[in-house]
């Protein structure tokens, strides 16, 4: 992973290379900060993930060869320290309040009446209306512009110091923009985008870890981890909304405050007046448009509430209502607080998204590890903007706990907008003939007896010839983050395994177009496309192949760590359990699972057979533009990166890099203190490149660069 932030080994400092390296390090840091700002604050990404990762990796490499250039505020140093034993308690300078709730138009109108009564006026008030983020509230503390601390809300008076974890959130600048004096406390919400959440749960599942019920739980759980490395791997985001205690400020209202936040380089919603915001909502345009609004009076605030409720599912993150705040800070102060809530704001909550439907059947699915999962099939019903007809029932003990039976009327809920679940059974509507549901003792696919392994709740089919298990394993193998066989859909995989044309991974590469055409309803063009995408998948990386094998507990990250450590499949296949536990990021459970798998001769034989079809080396390079194709570049002198790394880069871009200058040499890449090679190159009239020139050549190739 490009964001690796291992403790940096102290290597001897090469003073000659220092000035050049320093310049580059500063340049890289500035560029990365700029890209983070564009991405997280301005919501307009400037580069691809690939480009970002490349630059990030270069910075990591440079800082590791030049430990003297290390800076605790470098973007590579977001994971600051080692796991901590417990969170320190920190009192808030200003209490973190909660909000009173409103659930209807009437409640909002009543809120406005209370505000006016308290102010002793009949005048229309200006309200600032925002989304109510469904995440975890935190306070960020900046001292003289530098990020110093992050604290959870806790009981409102005292929170917990979660600085280590919050620091890993790239949306948070470690330095505020512009000059900044004194202490600034800013409140906001840590959350996870819905799309990132689905991926996170997939990764958790692949790694055999527990999945999260919704993005809010995942965000809160991540912030409560004692090891910041875990938080760093979670796709956390943050939006700021409220001021805490602030030493110097001229900001007079919530709308000015949001503007101010953006000026400081902090992520916050953008806003406009309700008229303009509404025009965008009406046209169904949400991205690029303000999501908060200045509303004149309660009627506009209600309109905002209703409009947001309609489009909440189109938002990239979960919200549970809107917050309506009196815009002026001085009026807020005049109103003050009652109990633990301000009088000047209300949370207008959306009604919970649940619906009632009937369970038509309970099916038992077989996963790629043979695990049996009961799934309720229901009459389709709309919940949270989508039609729901299946809900996972997890396992027998879940079914027993909720006593869910075929024919039951149930309440379904979409947890965190993604996974539908049955909340409860409407017992009064239960048919008298109903019986408790038991997962059958035989695999629904192959009929073999199923087993409950020691220490597990799930039942498993352990027949490795089971068509369902094979078909699920192949689906995983072909999936996007594994071998990425784009055109090979689930349905075709099921047909292929049913027809026994595919019984193991390598069989995919033995398939002919005629084999594919023998499947029901398979057309010429589609068969051709499938064959082509199978062929394309042959060029890939070792990490993807290891991940694709579907070894229990080996998720994408673990596969990457294994590939990085072993470098070749042969070395991986020969790994001992003792060697595996030594690898960073690989625990005893994972190591034992891998070594069990590797002890199967059949498995190892199949991987070797598979390898015959793959080209792992060319792959890595295939993705990189071959800008140096046909060029021979010799390296000399001290350069910002170690020589073997530069050589790898040249090879990856299709060039050659022998150790000495000769007649076929096209360029000499010369750093400081270049020696005899420089002389030789000058004699032969070989063009000399400096580091910048080399970067240009890498990017553009010879014609332009
Ligand atoms: S302003 C006096 N604005 O809601 C409290 N809060 O019930 C001022 N929240 O703990 C808070 N989105 O976690 C504010 N746009 C928003 C919010 C928001 C979510 C949460 C926050 C707070 C809770 C209050």
Chain segment 542-557, per-residue pLDDT in tens:
999 999 999 988 988 8
Confidence of residue 629 (pLDDT cuts 50, 70, 90): confident
Determine which of 75-84, 293-302, 317-326, 631-640 has the lowest per-residue pLDDT on average. Answer: 75-84
Report the run of H or E that residue 405 belongs to, with start and end. Answer: none
Q: Is 387 helix (H, G, I), strand (E, B) or coil?
A: strand
Q: Whole-angstrom Cα distance, residue 62 to residue 56?
A: 10
Q: Is 300 helix (H, G, I), strand (E, B) or coil?
A: helix
- Beta-carbon-side half-sphere exposure of residue 702 (alpha carbons within 13 Å): 11
What is the pLDDT, as a whole number, of residue 385? 66
Minimum-distance ligand 1 atom for the alpha carbon of 153: 10
- Give nearest CA residue, ligand 1 atom 16: 132
Active-site hit among 132, 560, 647, 677: 132
Residue from 101, 130, 132, 191 to probe ligand 1 pocket by mutation (most atoms less than 8 Å from CB): 132
Task: Name residues contacting ligand 1 (CB within 6 A).
Answer: 97-99, 130, 132-133, 137, 153, 189, 241-242, 323, 342, 345, 347
Minimum-distance ligand 1 atom for the alpha carbon of 345: 2
Q: Whole-angstrom Cα distance, residue 253 to residue 539?
A: 57
Determine which of 116-120, 181-185, 584-588, 682-686 has the lowest per-residue pLDDT on average. Answer: 584-588
Give the distance from CA 656 to its chain's centroid.
Answer: 37
> Do residues 295 and 274 touch, judged by C-beta distance below 8 A?
yes
What is the pLDDT, as a whole number, of residue 203? 84
Q: Whole-angstrom Cα distance, residue 345 to residue 624?
A: 53
Give 10 or 579, the one with higher predicted confidence.
579
- Give nearest CA residue, ligand 1 atom 15: 132
Most confident of 106-115, 385-394, 620-629: 106-115
Percent of the chain beyond pLDDT 90? 65
Q: Is 132 a catalytic residue?
A: yes
| Average pLDDT, integer, range 101-111 | 94
Tens digits of residue pLDDT in 122-139: 999 999 999 999 999 999
With a CB cutoff of 8 Å and minimum separation 6, the contacts of 131 are: 269, 291, 292, 308, 315, 319, 322, 323
What is the pLDDT, as a whole number, of residue 624? 67
What is the pLDDT, as a whole number, of residue 10? 34
CA distances from 164 to 156, 267, 623 (A): 21, 19, 35
- Give nearest CA residue, ligand 1 atom 6: 132
Tokens for 48?
Answer: 């691809």
Give 613 or 18, the one with higher predicted confidence.
613
Residue 256 CA to ligand 1 centre (angstroms): 18
Tens digits of residue pLDDT in 259-293: 999 999 999 998 999 998 888 888 766 555 678 99
Q: Whole-angstrom Cα distance, residue 166 to residue 495?
A: 47
Residue 270 CA to ligand 1 centre (angstroms): 17
Residue 132 CA to ligand 1 centre (angstroms): 7
What is the pLDDT, as a whole number, of residue 45? 82
Instruction: Evaluate if residue 645 carries a pLDDT over 80.
Output: no
Residue 669 CA to ligand 1 centre (angstroms): 56
Q: Whole-angstrom Cα distance, residue 698 to residue 371?
A: 48
- Which residue carries 């299709």 as its tokens? 654
Report the run of H or E that residue 90 belongs to, with start and end. Answer: strand 89-91
Tens digits of residue pLDDT in 315-347: 889 998 999 999 999 999 999 998 889 999 999
Q: Is 10 helix (H, G, I), strand (E, B) or coil?
A: coil
Q: Whole-angstrom Cα distance, residue 473 to residue 493?
A: 10
Sheet holding 419-425, edge to edge: 386-392, 372-383, 354-366, 409-415, 419-425
What is the pLDDT, as a whole number, of residue 299? 96
Confidence of residue 622 (pLDDT cuts 50, 70, 90): very low
Q: Whole-angstrom Cα distance, residue 94 to residue 159?
A: 11
Confidence of residue 149 (pLDDT cuts 50, 70, 90): very high
Minimum-distance ligand 1 atom for the alpha carbon of 99: 7
What is the pLDDT, as a whole number, of residue 134? 93
Most confident of 74-88, 116-130, 605-619, 647-661: 116-130
Q: Whole-angstrom Cα distance, residue 142 to residue 266?
A: 12
Residue from 189, 240, 346 to probe ligand 1 pocket by mutation (most atoms less than 8 Å from CB): 189
> Do residues 346 and 101 touch, judged by C-beta distance below 8 A?
yes
What is the pLDDT, as a whole number, of residue 623? 57
Minimum-distance ligand 1 atom for the alpha carbon of 269: 15
Instruction: Evaluate if residue 502 carries a pLDDT over 90.
Output: yes
Instruction: Evaluate if residue 439 carries a pLDDT over 90.
Output: yes
> Do residues 148 and 179 touch, judged by C-beta distance below 8 A?
no
With a CB cutoff of 8 Å and minimum separation 6, the contacts of 561 are: 583, 584, 585, 586
What does pLDDT average to over the chain? 89
Q: Is 288 helix (H, G, I), strand (E, B) or coil?
A: coil
What is the pLDDT, as a whole number, of residue 17? 62
Determine which of 6-20, 81-95, 204-218, 652-666 has the lowest per-residue pLDDT on average. Answer: 6-20
Q: Within the chain, how many helices (H) and strands (E) appear?
A: 27, 22
| Average pLDDT, integer, range 605-619 | 84
What is the pLDDT, as a whole number, of residue 8? 35
| Average pLDDT, integer, range 493-516 | 95
Instruction: Evaluate if residue 84 carries a pLDDT over 60.
Output: yes
| Average pLDDT, integer, range 95-121 | 95
- Sign of the Cα torsion 498, 501, 506, 511 reads negative
Residue 704 CA to ligand 1 centre (angstroms): 53
Most confident of 30-44, 258-272, 449-463: 258-272
* Opening angle at CA 438, ends 395 and 370, nearest 5: 50
What is the pLDDT, as a whole number, of residue 351? 77
Instruction: Evaluate if residue 416 carries a pLDDT over 90.
Output: no
Question: How many residues does this entry show for the chain?
Answer: 705
Confidence of residue 7 (pLDDT cuts 50, 70, 90): very low
State the pTM of this model. Answer: 0.63
Determine which of 55-69, 145-159, 606-620, 648-662 has the lowest per-residue pLDDT on average. Answer: 606-620
> Do residues 56 and 32 touch, judged by C-beta distance below 8 A?
yes
Output the DSSP codes for 410-456: EEEEEETTTEEEEEEE-GGG--TT-------SB-TTT-PBPB--TT-
Residue 160 CA to ligand 1 centre (angstroms): 18
Q: Whole-angstrom Cα distance, residue 395 to residue 373?
A: 6
Residue 130 CA to ligand 1 centre (angstroms): 10
Confidence of residue 641 (pLDDT cuts 50, 70, 90): confident
> Do residues 212 and 147 touch, judged by C-beta distance below 8 A?
no
- Give nearest CA residue, ligand 1 atom 23: 98
What is the pLDDT, as a whole number, of residue 256? 97
Residue from 100, 237, 261, 323 to probe ligand 1 pocket by mutation (most atoms less than 8 Å from CB): 323
Tokens for 52?
Answer: 């970002």
């Amino acid at each position: 992973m490009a964001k690796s932030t291992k403790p940096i080994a102290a290597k001897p400092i090469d003073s000659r290379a220092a000035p050049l390296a320093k310049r580059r390090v500063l340049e890289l840091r500035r560029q990365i900060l700029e890209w983070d700002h564009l991405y997280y604050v301005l919501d307009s990404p400037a580069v691809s993930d690939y480009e970002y990762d490349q630059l990030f990796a270069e910075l990591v490499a440079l800082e590791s060869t030049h430990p003297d250039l290390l800076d605790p505020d470098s973007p590579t140093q977001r994971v600051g320290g080692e796991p901590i034993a417990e969170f320190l308690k920190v009192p808030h300078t200003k209490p973190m309040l909660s909000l009173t709730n409103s659930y209807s138009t009437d409640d909002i109108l009543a809120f406005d009446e209370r505000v006016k009564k308290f102010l002793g006026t009949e005048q229309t008030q200006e309200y600032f209306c925002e989304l109510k983020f469904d995440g975890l509230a935190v306070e960020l503390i900046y001292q003289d512009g530098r990020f110093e601390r992050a604290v959870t809300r806790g009981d409102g008076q005292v929170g917990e110091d979660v600085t280590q974890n919050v620091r890993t959130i790239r949306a948070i600048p470690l330095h505020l923009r512009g000059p900044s004096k004194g202490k600034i406390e800013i409140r906001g919400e840590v959350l996870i985008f819905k799309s990132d959440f689905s991926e996170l749960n997939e990764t958790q599942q692949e790694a055999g870890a527990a999945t999260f019920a919704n993005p809010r739980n995942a965000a809160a759980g991540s912030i409560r981890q004692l090891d910041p490395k875990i938080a760093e791997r979670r796709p956390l985001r943050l939006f700021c909304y409220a001021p805490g205690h602030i030493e110097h400020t001229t900001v007079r209202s919530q709308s000015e405050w949001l503007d101010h936040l953006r000026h400081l380089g902090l992520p916050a919603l953008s806003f406009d007046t309700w008229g303009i915001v509404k025009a965008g909502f009406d046209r169904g345009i949400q991205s690029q448009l303000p999501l908060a609004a200045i509303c004149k009076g309660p009627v506009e605030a209600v309109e905002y509430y209703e409009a947001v409720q309609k489009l909440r599912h189109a938002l990239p993150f979960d919200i549970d209502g809107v917050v309506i705040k009196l815009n002026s800070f001085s009026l807020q102060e005049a109103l003050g607080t009652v109990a633990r809530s301000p009088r000047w704001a209300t949370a207008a909550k959306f009604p919970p998204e649940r619906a009632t439907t009937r369970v038509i059947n309970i099916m038992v699915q077989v996963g790629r590890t043979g695990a049996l999962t009961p799934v309720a099939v229901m009459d389709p019903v709309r919940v949270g903007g989508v039609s729901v007809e299946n809900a996972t029932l997890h396992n027998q003990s879940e079914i027993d706990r909720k006593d869910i039976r075929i024919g039951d009327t149930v309440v379904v809920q979409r947890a965190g907008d993604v996974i539908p679940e049955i909340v409860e059974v409407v017992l009064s509507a239960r048919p008298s003939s109903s019986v408790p549901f038991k997962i059958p003792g035989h695999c629904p696919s192959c009929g073999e007896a199923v087993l409950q392994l020691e220490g597990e709740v799930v039942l498993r089919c352990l027949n490795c010839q089971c068509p369902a298990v094979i078909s699920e394993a192949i689906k995983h193998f072909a999936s996007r983050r594994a071998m990425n066989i784009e055109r090979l859909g689930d349905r075709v995989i099921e047909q292929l395994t049913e027809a026994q044309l595919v019984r193991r991974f390598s069989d995919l590469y033995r398939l002919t177009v005629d084999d594919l055409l023998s499947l029901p309803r398979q057309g010429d063009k589609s068969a051709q496309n499938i064959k082509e995408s199978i062929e394309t998948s042959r060029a890939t990386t070792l990490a993807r192949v290891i991940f694709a094998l579907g070894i229990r507990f080996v998720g994408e990250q673990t596969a990457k760590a294994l590939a990085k450590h072993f470098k070749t499949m042969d070395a991986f296949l020969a790994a001992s359990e003792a060697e595996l536990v030594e690898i960073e990021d690989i625990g005893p459970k994972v190591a034992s699972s891998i070594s069990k798998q590797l002890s199967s001769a059949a498995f190892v034989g199949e991987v070797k057979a598979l390898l015959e079809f793959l080209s792992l080396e060319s792959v890595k390079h295939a993705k990189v533009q071959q800008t140096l194709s046909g060029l021979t570049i010799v390296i000399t002198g001290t350069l910002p990166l170690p020589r073997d790394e530069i050589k790898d880069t040249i090879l990856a871009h299709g060039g050659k890099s022998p150790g000495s200058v000769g007649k076929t040499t096209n360029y000499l890449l010369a750093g400081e203190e270049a020696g005899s090679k420089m002389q030789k190159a000058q004699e032969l009239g070989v063009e000399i490149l400096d580091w910048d020139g080399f970067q240009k050549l890498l990017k553009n190739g010879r014609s332009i660069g």
